Chains A and B, each alone.
Chain A
Amino acid sequence: MPPAEGALLEALDLSRSFGRRPVLRGVSLALRPGDVMVVLGPNGAGKSTLLRLLSGLLRPGSGEVRWKGTTLRRGDHQARRRLGLLAHQSFLYDDLTLMENLVFAARLYALPDPRAAARAALADAGLAERADDTPRALSRGAVQRAAVARAFLHEPEAVLLDEPFTGLDASAAHHLRDQLGQLRSRRGAALLVTHRPDEAWELTNRVGVILDGRLALDEPRPDDLSAFLGRYHAMIRG
């Protein structure tokens, strides 16, 4: 299958099994600059696996993942520099302060001024006063904002988000939408796996559905959310 023109991140006929159990079967999609794609699907459909494959944490059984036309390989770090993943877990160390956590992440991404980047990201997240607290001392919403700050710290071009709005309080959800808006305006792309498409509907421009390991739907975002949800539920039932 030929690669899509100008795509940032693509899945080409991606398949992956765990042991004997196939989880993804031949999924292909392309994220272009400015895309904010929302993907829905029942539990166990393969959504998280797709994200892990796209981020390079998992290797495909067959098919490939491409970053700007180049296949992701073991040891390839160029793509990692420009990718971000926001998952259920925060990737933060409970015994380090937020500042220490973010400075470390900044160093991992070889940012030129780690302390400044960390400070800016924390300020953006409204966590400037809590910079010297550890995640243990923070409310859940604050930890989530910190996780978002960490995910966007290195100004990624493409961000993959796994149910990012679940359990987020209002301020954290606002911060995340902010970051997504900024990402879109600098021509980045995002792929959100979510049960709550309404949370970022205005930012979304594409929708998809994963059913039973396959991409059952991939189209421009319709204007009517409730009609779309109706179709989605019908797809699951059918």
Chain B
Amino acid sequence: MKYISKATFFHRLDPRTKILMSLICACLVVILDTPLSLFSLSIVLFAVFLSIKPPLSYIRIIIYLMGTTMIAAVISQGFFYYFEPRTPIFTVVPSNTRFFGNLTGGIYFYKEGVIYGAIQSMRIFSATLLSMVIVVSTYPSDLILGLKKLGIPEKLGFIITVSIRFLPTLGEEAKRILIAQKLRGLRLKGICGALNGFRFLLQPLIIDSLRKAKRIALAAEVRGFTGKRVEIRSLRFLWADRVVLFIAFLTMLFVIRKMFCP
């Protein structure tokens, strides 16, 4: 999943706004604890996600992810919900069944478990949507500049940029190493094979990365990198940013008041 250039409202927002907005939403995800409120938050975030015009494949991924998380969380929590009070919806194994019943104390499917599972899965869903909105709608360099303006050190920003730049090549490299192993007869099937492959993958990968890191460091030195920079790229904090942040703050205040000052 990566940045896609489009002309949408969220693409135009200042990265700082998006970072602050995501922090507020992250707080909401934690604070909100009723299925209805989290459902509303998920719907709003999903609408925001659709508004950045993501490709169909991204939408498919998010729906698939949501579906599987929801089903897995509801089923597992339904069976294994531990807190009291709990109300069984139906019984799978009654407690008086011989052996299994005695062993497990009965297997029930609890209503509270279903609700708890739904809440947790919607939290995961909201958090995922939030990060996807930022990644897809913000150019990475702008995002890093935004982080720097919000106070992260220049050198850390540089490390993040270089990581974004070189991570894909690391994946390619690992792939080539695995193929080279295969062609030299190393069996990679099964757990033993995978462990074996991993053992012989790490050494060339690390050594090559160290060599590359040295080359990159020297190249950065001769380009005068010291950790202090005057950047050309600039950010513009517009009216839209103020409005979005204002609404986000207001929502947060409202929620806090509603939850903590009855």
Chain A bound to chain B: no
**A contacts, CB < 8 Å to B:** none
- Residues of chain B touching chain A, judged by Cβ–Cβ distance below 8 Å, are none
